[in-house]
Amino acid sequence: MKKQCSFHWSIFILFFVCGSAFSQKALPAIETVVHDPVMIQQGNIYYLFCTGHGISVYSSPDMKNWTPEKPVFAEQPKWATTVAPDFKGHIWAPDVSYHNGQYYLYYSVSSFAKNTSAIGVATNKTLNPKDKNFKWVDHGIVIESVPNRDLWNAIDPNLILDEKGVPYLTFGSFWDGLKMVKLNPDLTSIAKQPQEWHTLARRERSFKLDDKDPGDAALEAPFVFKKDGWYYLFLSWDFCCRGENSTYKVVVGRSKTVTGPYVDASGKELFQGGGRLVIEGNKNWAGVGHNSAYTFDNKDYLVFHGYDVSKKGTPKLIIKEIQWKEGWPTVLPMD
C-alpha cells in the first residue's frame, strides 16, 4: 500500500479488511480484492500475500480462483508501535520467498505519508495452515527509516540474491529514490563491516526535497527479477491509493549486476529518471502497479493490482503472462 499520496478513506477501509473479513468462498482473480500482491508456490498450491490487517493471505490451486486464508499475524508485531505510534495493525507491501529451508516474509510498518517506517521479517517452515509445522515466527526489524535522519523510506521490501547467492534487500518509495542494502546470510539483518548501500532509481523533483515532504517524484515498489543473465528492476511510477483517480504504471530497467546501474531500452539510467513502460491503466483501470514477477512451470508472470473503475476504484488482482521481445518484458495491455 502506498503511503505518500492522498487517498479515499473508503478505499483505506477496503484495504483494511482485505482477506480478513470476507467469506471463505473462492473468487476468480478479477474479483479478488488485493493491494500490493506477491505470490509463491508450495507443492500444487499457490499462495498470495498482500497489504491488509495482519497481512492478508489467499490460496489457489490454479492462479485463477482464490480462497481467503487467515492473516499472517493474529496480533500486531510487538515492536510496531515503537516505530509508528499510530500503527493499528494494517501491514503494507509484503514480499515472500523460500531460502535456507524456510519461507521468508518481509513486510512494512509505517505512518502514512511519512518515512516513519520499518521493514520486518517473519519465517515459516510451511505455508500450509493445516501442517503441524505451520507457525509464523517474527524476527523483528531488519531496517528502519527515521524522519530528520533519513531521506529514504523503509517500505516495499523485495529480497534478491545475486549470482553468488549474496542477499540484498531492495526497498523504498518517494523521497530520494529506491534503495538496496546488503544482508547477512541469515536474511534477517543488515551486513556490516562495512555496510553496503545503493540507490537504484530516482526521479527529478519540481521543488526542494526535505525530510518532512517526500516530494512529487513518485516512484516505489521495487522488484528485481533474474532472467537470461540480466537483473530486471520493475518499479511503479506515479500515484496509487486514489481509487478511480490513481495514475499508477509499471516501468522497468535492467542490469548485468544486481546493484546496477539499471538502464532502460534507450540506455537512460533509472537513477537519472529512466524507465521503460511495461503496463499502464486505461478507461477501465485507473492505475495498475505494485507488481511482482515469477516463473511458474516455465512461464513468466507479472502479478499486480489495478483499480477497477466499474467498481468505484476497488483494487483487484491482475495476473498476466510475460512475453520477451529483444530482451525486454512485455504484457498485453489492460482490457
Catalytic residues: 36, 220
Name the burial class of residue 216, with classes exposed (0-12), middle (13-18) and buried (19+) by CB atoms within 10 angstroms of its CB: middle
Contact 30, 44 (CB under 8 A): no
Neighbour order of strands in the sheet with 167-171: 158-161, 167-171, 178-182, 197-201
How far is CA 307 from each of CA 36, 53, 68, 156, 185, rounded to the nearest angstrom? 12, 20, 20, 19, 38
Strand-pair partners of 181: 169, 197
d(CA 68, CA 25): 7
The phi and psi torsions of 44 (rounded to 5 degrees) equal -105, 20
d(CA 31, CA 26): 10
Cell numbers representing residue 50 in the block: 498482500
Contact 303, 322 (CB under 8 A): no
Neighbours of 65 (CB within 10 A): 16
Name the burial class of residue 79, with classes exposed (0-12), middle (13-18) and buried (19+) by CB atoms within 10 angstroms of its CB: middle
How far is CA 273 from each of CA 2, 114, 133, 237, rounded to the nearest angstrom? 20, 22, 46, 10
d(CA 129, CA 289): 29
Closest Cα to residue 42, out of 20, 57, 55, 21?
A: 57
